[in-house]
Structure 1
Amino acid sequence: MPEPAYAARSRTGEGAAAAATDNAPTAVPPCMATMDVTPDDDRMTVTLWGELDLGSRRLLPDLHDILALSGSGIDLRLDTVGFCDCAGINVLLDLRTHALDQGKTVTVRSCGRAVDRLFDLTGTRELFTDVAGTAAHVADARTDGDADRDLRAEVTQLRRAMQTRPTIDLARGILMASFGLSAEAAWSVLVRTSQNTNTKLHHLARDLVGSVHGSTLPE
């Protein structure tokens, strides 16, 4: 395995002050992921391997630095990520939000089964898709008929994400108001329940919102 160009910064001993500066939780576990960075024109390609969990928040300061060095953003390759949970997805969402604040983008160019499953459950895949770039790649690699079908499917996925997002946000608000949770904690509850019950996130959110109007929430 090649030596990573970047690794998680130390958060022990003298690094405690730096952790506080980064607004990281004081009890963040060790990071089980490493990364390699390759410049690609005005973007940075970041390859991650290992595990994306709560400890992977320790990667954020370095990822923010890499983002700042890029011209238009970061392309992620996650093929060798063997484990990913809702905390890992939150790290990617944090990076995406940071990029949007700078007028940049974060895209996922490839991912393994662990990340792919979380994207499906949470409906967040489209947030990391470069539609224009994907369309160009598909058009070059496939016949016109195949490209047309792929693009139609992609548009359908984007429309579905736009339609289900308000319900998911409302369900998260219900959890926050009912149990005094933060926005991130409410999101984690939804994602973890979705994983444990093998239920699509937007279906779970719909049932939760329906329970406010008297329907029974499935056990």
Structure 2
Amino acid sequence: MTTATPPRLAGRLTTLMIEARVDAGRALLAPRGELVHGCADTLTETLAGLPAGTGRVDLDMTGVTFMDTAGLQFLDVLHDHGHRHAVTVTTANWNGQPRRILELAGLDTTDPLRSAAHRPPAPRPGPVPSPRPAPAPVPARSAVALERSERLHDLQEEVEQLRHALASRPVIDQARGILMATHGCTSDEAWHLLRETSQLSNTKLRAVAAAITSSAGNGGPPLPGAVRTALRAALARLGR
């Protein structure tokens, strides 16, 4: 049996489609698009439509091209489905930017559902007579929660930079070309120069690219002091 997720409601942007094929109790899901806001709802609808008796769900993530923090909700839905229905759930073939996000989140890029952050909690013993809580689990869970919070913060910053980069692609590409021509660096090196200059000067990446592009023209304004200083530092680290 082969199905696909139904169209979203009118007025809502469809960023994710999931093709589903079920054979002999095994469901193969093939998401296509982006894991952004609403992706968890799309997955929930797809899983709810699987026939009774489905004992295994495998996801081929090859068609996923972008992922932000909503992708973690997507994984939570998968984990909860497997736990509630006692079925095996796996994901595979994470590539490109989504794979990078998994790395930032500290998840297994081969199958993030195997990661400690998404494993079901160990069974807890029944009530104990003493009112004192068990000493070991509480600090362990607190440490995990703190680490995950820090990783999530880094993940959100990375995704935000990626979104701005995509929206500002033309001016960023121009700035990369200018840096390549001016300093004899490769395209990748020019990209790292832009990012490092942005971080060192505490200036948005698009603003750095726009400043570099404007200053390269005849009679263009000089680079702002903070950007100029940060770019020099980035060039020095690159050995230029």
TM-score with structure 1 length normalisation? 0.50
Q: Higher relative CO (CA 8 A, sep ≥ 6), structure 1 or 2?
A: 1
Answer with 1 or 2: which has the greater Rg.
Answer: 2
